[in-house]
Amino acid sequence: MSTIRPSTAATGAIIVGTGHTRFGRLSETLEELIVAASREALADAGIGGDAVDAVWLGHFNSGMVADGFCSSMILGADEGLRYKPAIRCENACASGAAAVYSALDALASGRIDVALVVGVEKMTHLDTEAVTRSLGGASYQREENGVSFPEIFARYARAYSQRYGDPTDAMARIAVKNHHNALANPLAHMKKPLELDFCLTVSDRNPMIAPPLKVTDCSLITDGAAAIVLTRRDRVGEYRHAVGFRAVEQVSDLLPLSRKDLAAFEGPQRAFRKAYAAAGITVNDIDFAEVHDCFTIAELMTLEAMGLAEPGQASAIVREGQTERGGRLPVNLSGGLKAKGHPVGATGVSMHVLAARQLTGRAGDMQLDGAELGVCFNMGGGAVTSCVSVLEPVKA
């Protein structure tokens, strides 16, 4: 029997439907991925397109596909969606969270009652050089034109290493953990375990990409889509299950790397602090977190930004297993961007989908017993945009 919990939310919205394609090197087109995720989310919510008031699409693109105007592709998922307002959101790797938060704002304004939010990216038809060039559009072109994102995060890793000591052992352990977690995720791109020695060693199969980042420190080039249905919390009785937003916070920092302390995630730290304050919690209240591990150094520095470790101490808690399943705070039970995959525009929506399934006991082999509070952290650029959602079960 379902249980409806009293509201402690900072927003009046709930997730009542989720959809998620498999992530990987897929044959489906951009449109087919959008439609598949949308249909699954609508079916999960038990509604048709006619019940939706507006749709949002998170899609970075940056030249990876020719479709620069694709928000209305969502309308192909259901005849009832035709003529509904459709909006595309782009905010680098936080495009998915941008779409979610934009829909939440529309719900909070009272302008709409039901929203469908989709995140998508199609990447694997391009070679690595072309994808790297497209992703590079999310950096500060005046100073960083031609600098790859592996190099951007390598600069974070080098600055961190200079201040606190070499983090590469902990980075390798993060890769091992996330690949192990992905084995339980049927939607993950790479369901292949990694050995610690392999991740630590430069080799033909694990070359150095941007020192100290090796291939095993980098997330995957991936196709995929994810979708959620959002509605007002006072309509919870109409749906089978629901997850609420205890807090939603976004922080945008300066774009140039030259203006920031690269040994600290200042924007992410501020976003987490604001989210905790809004939710009335501390990091010790969180049961699990899905965080933006575009590179292993990003997960390591996020552990400090979220308050799980003091500055310079994240390597110790990784070595102790505190972020593994069964540890103090399991991080990236889905496999994270590192192994689940990182179809850029889909990532933020995917985090919300999988967190919602965790909180309603529908995460399958990924399920964490007794999960009551989850956090999603979606980041855009080199710690430029930081989006933190605190989620709680409302009806399970």
Catalytic residues: 93, 342
Q: In which element (H, E) is residue 18 found?
A: strand 13-20
Pairing assessment for the beta strands 114-121 and 86-89 based on DSSP bridges: unpaired
Biggest distance spanned by C-alpha atoms of the chain: 58
Separation of alpha carbons 6 and 183, rounded Å = 35
Q: If you ran DSSP here, which 8-state letter would residue 147 be given?
A: -
Separation of alpha carbons 241 and 166, rounded Å = 45
Two structure tokens written together for 139: 């950096």
Q: If you ran DSSP here, which 8-state letter would residue 312 be given?
A: T
Q: What is residue 377's three-state secondary structure? A: strand
Instruction: Please state the φ and ψ torsions of residue 18, each to the nearest 5 degrees.
Output: -135, 145
Pairing assessment for the beta strands 385-395 and 242-252 based on DSSP bridges: antiparallel
What Rg value do the Cα atoms of the chain yield, rounded? 19
3-state secondary structure 35-91: HHHHHHHHHHHCCCHHHCCEEEEECCCCCCCCCCCCHHHHHHHCHHHCCCCEEEECE
Separation of alpha carbons 61 and 130, rounded Å = 12
Separation of alpha carbons 242 and 230, rounded Å = 9
Q: What is the DSSP string of 315-375?
A: HHHHHTTTTSTTSSS-B-TT-HHHHT---HHHHHHHHHHHHHHHHTT--GGGPPTT---EE
3-state helix, strand, coil in the chain (%, to 5): 40, 20, 40
β-pair partners for 379: 386
Place of tokens 């920092």: 253
